[in-house]
Structure 1
Amino acid sequence: MATNTRFEDLEIGQIARMRSLRVFELTQKEPFFKVFKFRDQIRAAARSAMDNIAEGFERSSKLEFINFLSIARGSSGAIRSQLYSASDQKYIEEPVHQELNERYTTLSSKIAPFIAYLNKSEVKGQKIAGRSK
């Protein structure tokens, strides 16, 4: 296990950041851009996934980190749900929907085993946050 000293070094943090950027770029375009509430909601969920990974990493306990990772995983699911709505309402084309859905599914699938690793780990406190596969 490598030890990371910054949340930016975690693979899941890097993935969440790239996904958030992609959602932001997508929602800057019409017709999505003009649907303010929906646009802001999906952007917030994308940021939430990334922000909760960062905030959990910076917390001082394993249980808090696990909790924030669970929230990040939930945000990833929320984004996928919103992508279905965006596709159904023709704000995005199906290939874009498929691309982002797969990317957020991948993020969720990487968070889940990390949570399992943390749950099994005997390390407590801040040092646990820096471990990743």
Structure 2
Amino acid sequence: MIVGIGTDLCDVRRIQATLERRGERFPERVLGPAELRVFQARRERTPARGVRFLATRFSAKEAFSKAIGLGIRSPMQWRACEILNEPSGKPFIRLHGELAAWFEARGLVAHVSVTDETDYASSFVVVETRPATPEAIP
């Protein structure tokens, strides 16, 4: 059963301006450890690609926070929610710490989609209850 849906549209130019204003503190505040490594690698190859990566992750975390109904308040924290990619490219959400425990205790699972163009990044998140496994059905 779907328990929440979140979407977000982010202006990449706004992320670029914030990055210029705040420097490395901005991505270090928003991105988890694995995301930060990907951001740095992408930005090193092509600066604009790094900014778009940061914008998609910012957008996806906003969408996730809306889908779970918390906004950006405890236990939802920027770095506790990472948007990573499977080898196939499919994005997925990895949670850490109190947020992971909160999410797991409710038996939830999340699905995420991200996209970006030159000026905008967009994300869509669906949170649902974890389907029962066949062993759990009496």
TM-score by length of 2: 0.29
TM-score by length of 1: 0.30
